[in-house]
Amino acid sequence: MTRRELIMIAGLAVAVFAAFVLSLAIGSTRIPPSRVVEALIGGGVSDEDRAIVMAVRLPRAVTAMLAGAALGIAGLQMQTLFRNPLADPFALGVSSGASLGVALVVLGSGSIAGLFGSTTGLAGDALITAAAIAGAGSVLVLVLAVSSRIGDATVVLIFGLMFGYAVSACVTVLVGASAPERLQQWAQWGLGSFSGVTWPRLRLFGGLTAFGLALAAVTPKQLNALLLGDRYASSMGLAVRRVRVMTMAGASVLAAVVTAFCGPISFIGIAVPHLCRGLTGTGDHRVAVPAVVLMGAVVALAAQTVSVLPGDGTVLPLNAVTALVGAPTVVVVLLRRRRHGGHV
Amino acid sequence: MTRRCIERFDPAADYFPEKAILEDAAMFHVEYRRSYKVLTVNGGQPADPRERYVLVQCGAPPPPLTGDLAGAAIVSVPVSSVFAFSTTQLPLLTDLGRIDVLTGVAQRDAITDPAIQRRVAAGAAVEFARVGLVVDVERVVAAHPGLLMIGSLSNRAVPPIRAAGIPVVPNAEWLEQTALGRAEWLKYMALFLNEEARAQSIYEPMKARYLTWAGRIRAIPAAQRPLVMTGRSSNGMFTIAGGKSYVAALIADAGGRYAWNDDPSAGIVTVDIEAQIARAAGADIWINGGGWKNLRAMLEQEPRYAAFKAVRDGRVWVYERRQTPSGANDYWSRSVTCPDIVLADLIKIFHPALGRDHAFEWYMAVPGSGAR
Amino acid sequence: MIETPALRTCDLTVGYRARHRTRAVLEGVNVSVSRGQLVCLLGPNGIGKSTLLRTLAAMQPALAGRVELDARDARLLAPADLARRLAVVLTDRGAIDGLSARRVVELGRYPHVGWFGVLRHRDGIAVDAALAAVAASHLADQEISRLSDGERQRVMIARALAQQPSVLLLDEPTAFLDVPSRVELMALLRDLTRREHVLAIVSTHDLELALRVADVVWLVMPGGELASGAPEDVMLSGVVNAAFEGHRLRFHVADRSFRLLTGQRGDAVARGVGVRATLAAAVLEREGYAVGAGGPPLVEVDVDDTGWIAVAGGTRVQGIDFASLAHFLRERTI
């Protein structure tokens, strides 16, 4: 790694730490930093403060880091796989599949939720997560089946987009037929949130995302080879179809897991790889993978912190924050590279 | 006279001897002018503009729509057929004994009143918004009722129905800031049926009962009033009653202190769970959540509920005592016109000694374990 | 000792297999070439050069026969083994714009490094050597998107060299280059074959350049055959004429180049000293006269360092530069 790259990665690591600390200190209620520290180390603070710091803010910060890293890596893998700077983790219709699963339990007749123990017909969080994973998984299986038969990556991408549209259409039909109380819960899921993952669920979430991240971490060689194109890659001995399927599955699992636990979160997956490329100056995956993991975590933590700035219970929708803050940043980065004679 | 149309119009006669006097409702206002009533009402959503209606006694000539009547819509009273959109509007008709005018309901599955269910089954009342509460405009226009009462006038079905000559009026009772104000909407419905006397005969004793109950509480000092929280959480966001809502007013009247008293909203508010913990972790009682089999299921679904004292003490109360297994709950219909019973239930929860002689109508405690 | 041929084909037939039909493009190809040689694959467009190249590179299955690399059947080699013997340079651009030239060349070490892609000392040496072999060491740390087309091609060749193959296959490497760069690239390839002791097979449209630099020429004929041999033998055998000539074009073996067909207007002679006479003859030919054909000339041109004098049909005209000579010839009606 060049000196510049090492410095950038070290800088990102510091930024992650700072963002993590900030997200513990800032929330919708005001708790002085000294009390936050006390709560963390198990000192004597009120029960409310301890509950807020340990049961609300801490798992939320960890969730944000994992989700940001996962989405960033999934976006990087998709952009490399399809050699397309506009690809995002949900290009294969995974997010639409998750939405369909959630829509079926939240918006479908109350009897589905009632089967799982709810008495008012409102679906619980665990049920929603399971449904999202099931929905995303179904779409993923379909897309992978298509991909193993078709060699052309662009065609697979188009298939994924079409699946996504078709599934979204089903969701729209469900939305149109739904009662207002249910729509409120549905709309809230759609806003995206890191607050829904409590400690017990964090175990599962953390395990799944760690698995997906590890997969990306051990394949920078293959991902680099894919940059040359399928023909060059196979001429060097890469099993192109197998690697493509594996990478697609890895990226989609990461995207599906994050969507299932946190709702659909836009922008991070598509923007973080570009930000990293601008910062480190290279697309080499040996540098990009660690950089994207760190940058994804920073962006997610920053978005989370900004979303609770209004205070006293009011929370800005996460998706709005990620886009509003992130989009101008990406534009700035791209313009700077253009000016210095670079490329996208 | 109130039920029949006028045969020979006398401009000097007062055709409305029984007039409604509004004591608690703030969202609508009526003025009587011999042969017609001028009704001003809020649109149904906080942002909707106020609407004005001229309720003309059938057979009388409508007044010129000038001056303060400019832009008003004309409704001929008494109406003989009513399409009601919300189930909360149905008890207004039931209490007035006038379900004979009900010719349309939104969804038959949401109805808990057996008399109305029979009416629908017999075909005397039709369903007009069966799928997803989307109004079937054609069905409404084909039936041509004398009145469509809907929750909010911003519903997309309203303009075409009005264009077809059917009067559409809003019902904003849920925005009233007191439970009594909400219940007084009985008189709103009565205006269209010329049943003001009947409405008053129901409202007055109910209000007296309400005030008697509230009177028991007045003397209790703040220190002995329990801190109360409301709502349920999903994905880390708590949906609660606003500080100026009728729920907050009921809590105060029942001798409780609402944790979000200073919130300015009159409806429902969504807050971050952190804020709820900060304000209500020490709340003694939790009301108006729901959907939980028992306390253990509550904690499994959302472990952070353990931060609330009310959960640890097992003092979580929901209005699901009369909920049927299919999910229909007559709390939604009857509680609107019977706030005195709701108040009694709440007093029994907050101050059990004072509520000794009352049996719970709708509220029950969420059990510690096992099914309900 | 006879060296094992780096590449050998046995009755190789290449083509396409569609759903119900099989279409053979080249049949019964039997060639054998050793390391240290530059082979140029030539032929008119669409005749099957790319198909042959793809089959040799194992990117496409042969219809019949086999390809042997270092005496091993290519079909029996594991992909990594194959990659250590054969490397390609294609016209694909890929998405490598974010990489430095060195990193692109490092990609060529793929078949030699372990699962994690960690580069060791000998990999670094191979990369440096590859860059030096194409004279691109000074470009190593620059972003590949900033290099000129010629420099970029050199880096792609270095990437292939980093695989340390015995055979290099290049598909139209000079396609996007300007003329000086083309010549330089072909010269580089010839030097590489000597210095690195690799076999390079280059498909190209640059017929005249190829005939000058190649050690072996493979010419694909319209009938689906492959003519192979040293360029001079191939030219002499007349197959170049058979493959390329049209009714406007002729291959001139002595010049090793193509000439436009001439002579419709009649015969002419050009006299003078040195190169000017040759150039005058070229102008005459361009204007449609056959020079030195032997018949009675309609035009006679004498040229020296002051200018030219032309005698035709009784008239005598003179001028200074060849443009005026051409103008004069064009204005004439015979």
Taking contacts as CB-CB distances below 8 angstroms, the residues of chain A near B282 are: 48
- Selection from B40, B37, B39, B5 nearest residue B18 by Cα: B37
Task: Check: CB of residue B355 under 8 Å from CB of residue B348.
Answer: yes
- Cα atoms in the Cβ-side hemisphere of radius 13 Å centred on A156: 27
Please state, in angstroms and rounded to a whole number, the distance separating the CA atoms of residues B358 and C294. Answer: 134
Residue C125 clears pLDDT 80, i.e. is over it = yes
The fold for domain B28-205 equals Rossmann fold (3.40.50)
Taking contacts as CB-CB distances below 8 angstroms, the residues of chain B near A126 are: 300-301
pLDDT of residue A110: 55
Q: Please provide the average confidence, as pLDDT, over all residues in chain B.
A: 89
pLDDT of residue B370: 53
- Split at pLDDT 50, 70, 90, the class of B285 is very high
- Selection from B253, B250, B318 nearest residue B285 by Cα: B318
For residue B151, give the chain A residue with the closest CA. Answer: A180
> Across residues A77-84, what is the average pLDDT?
89
Three-state DSSP state, C14: strand
Closest Cα in chain A, distance from residue C21 (Å):
21
Please state, in angstroms and rounded to a whole number, the distance separating the CA atoms of residues C230 and C218. Answer: 9
Task: Check: CB of residue B149 under 8 Å from CB of residue B141.
Answer: no
Task: Check: CB of residue B334 under 8 Å from CB of residue B180.
Answer: no
The tens digit of pLDDT for each residue in B37-52 reads 999 997 667 677 788 9
Please state, in angstroms and rounded to a whole number, the distance separating the CA atoms of residues C162 and C103. Answer: 11
pLDDT of residue C114: 81
- Selection from B1, B6, B29 nearest residue B17 by Cα: B1
Please state, in angstroms and rounded to a whole number, the distance separating the CA atoms of residues B12 and B35. Answer: 9
Residue A102 clears pLDDT 60, i.e. is over it = yes
Please state, in angstroms and rounded to a whole number, the distance separating the CA atoms of residues B93 and B85. Answer: 13
> Across residues C122-146, what is the average pLDDT?
93
pLDDT of residue A343: 47
Chains C and B touch (3+ CB pairs under 8 A): no
More confident residue, C305 or A329: C305
- Split at pLDDT 50, 70, 90, the class of A124 is low
Q: Do A55 and B307 touch (CB under 8 A)?
A: yes
Q: Which residues pair with B77 in a beta bridge?
A: B57
Give backbone dihedrals phi and psi of C113, rounded to 5 degrees, phi first. -100, 165
Amino acid identity of residue A131, one-letter, is A
pLDDT of residue A123: 58
More confident residue, C205 or C254: C205
- Selection from C59, C62, C76, C61 nearest residue C29 by Cα: C62
- Provide CB contacts within 8 A for C305, sequence distance 6+: C276
Please state, in angstroms and rounded to a whole number, the distance separating the CA atoms of residues C10 and C27. Answer: 11
Q: Which CATH number fits domain A3-339: 3.40.50.300, 1.10.287.3510, 1.10.287.70, 1.10.3470.10?
A: 1.10.3470.10
| Adjacency order of strands within the sheet including C199-203 | C86-89, C167-171, C199-203, C38-42, C216-220, C226-229
Chain A residue set in contact with C, beta carbons under 8 Å: 80, 83, 218, 220-221, 224-225, 227-229, 231-232, 234-239, 277, 282-284, 286, 341-344
Name the residue among C78, C83, C93 with its Cβ closest to that of A235: C83
Taking contacts as CB-CB distances below 8 angstroms, the residues of chain A near C117 are: 220-221, 224, 286
Three-state DSSP state, C164: coil
Secondary element (H or E) of residue A15:
helix A3-25
Q: Please say whether the structural domain B221-365 has been given the CATH code 1.10.533.10.
A: no
Residue C305 clears pLDDT 50, i.e. is over it = yes
- Selection from C156, C85, C161 nearest residue C128 by Cα: C161
Neighbours of B231 (CB within 10 A): 22
pLDDT of residue A344: 44
Over pLDDT 70: what percentage of chain C?
98
pLDDT of residue C1: 52
Q: Please provide the average confidence, as pLDDT, over all residues in chain A.
A: 85
Neighbours of C333 (CB within 10 A): 5
Task: Check: CB of residue A303 under 8 Å from CB of residue A106.
Answer: no
Q: Do A227 and C86 touch (CB under 8 A)?
A: no
Q: How far apart are the first and last CA of chain B?
A: 52
pLDDT of residue B258: 96
Amino acid identity of residue A79, one-letter, is Q
Cα R_g (chain B), whole angstroms: 22
Residue A130 clears pLDDT 50, i.e. is over it = yes
Residue for token pair 């005939």 = C211
Residue A176 clears pLDDT 50, i.e. is over it = yes
Three-state DSSP state, A137: helix
Q: Is the dihedral of CA A212, A218, A222, A223 positive or negative?
A: positive
> Across residues B62-70, what is the average pLDDT?
87
Residue A234 clears pLDDT 70, i.e. is over it = yes
- Selection from C93, C74, C94, C92 nearest residue C84 by Cα: C74
pLDDT of residue A121: 47
**Angle formed at CA B213 by CA B207 and CA B215, multiple of 5 degrees:** 100
Chain mean position to CA C325: 35
Task: Check: CB of residue C154 under 8 Å from CB of residue C130.
Answer: no
Three-state DSSP state, B29: strand
Domain boundaries, chain B: 28-205, 221-365
Q: Do A284 and C93 touch (CB under 8 A)?
A: no
Give backbone dihedrals phi and psi of B272, rounded to 5 degrees, phi first. -65, 140
Secondary element (H or E) of residue C165:
none
> Across residues C94-99, what is the average pLDDT?
84
Residue A261 clears pLDDT 70, i.e. is over it = yes
- Provide CB contacts within 8 A for C1, sequence distance 6+: none
Q: Do A221 and C57 touch (CB under 8 A)?
A: no
Q: What's the ipTM?
A: 0.83
Residue B238 clears pLDDT 70, i.e. is over it = yes
The tens digit of pLDDT for each residue in C199-224 reads 999 999 888 899 999 999 999 888 77
pLDDT of residue A119: 44
- Selection from C194, C2, C192, C167 nearest residue C68 by Cα: C167
Chain A residue set in contact with B, beta carbons under 8 Å: 27-29, 47-48, 51-52, 55-57, 60, 110, 114, 117-122, 124-126, 176-180, 184-185, 188-189, 193-196, 198-200, 263, 308, 312-315
- Selection from C315, C29, C41 nearest residue C173 by Cα: C41
Q: Do A342 and C145 touch (CB under 8 A)?
A: yes
Q: Do A342 and C88 touch (CB under 8 A)?
A: no
Please state, in angstroms and rounded to a whole number, the distance separating the CA atoms of residues B153 and B227. Answer: 37
Give backbone dihedrals phi and psi of B87, rounded to 5 degrees, phi first. -65, -20
The tens digit of pLDDT for each residue in B245-258 reads 999 999 999 999 99
Residue for token pair 């009675």 = C296
| In chain B, alpha helices (H) | 90-95, 114-121, 137-143, 158-163, 179-183, 185-193, 196-218, 246-253, 273-280, 295-301, 309-312, 331-337, 339-350
Please state, in angstroms and rounded to a whole number, the distance separating the CA atoms of residues B293 and B291. Answer: 7
The tens digit of pLDDT for each residue in C40-72 reads 999 887 778 888 999 998 888 888 899 999 888
> Across residues B55-64, what is the average pLDDT?
89
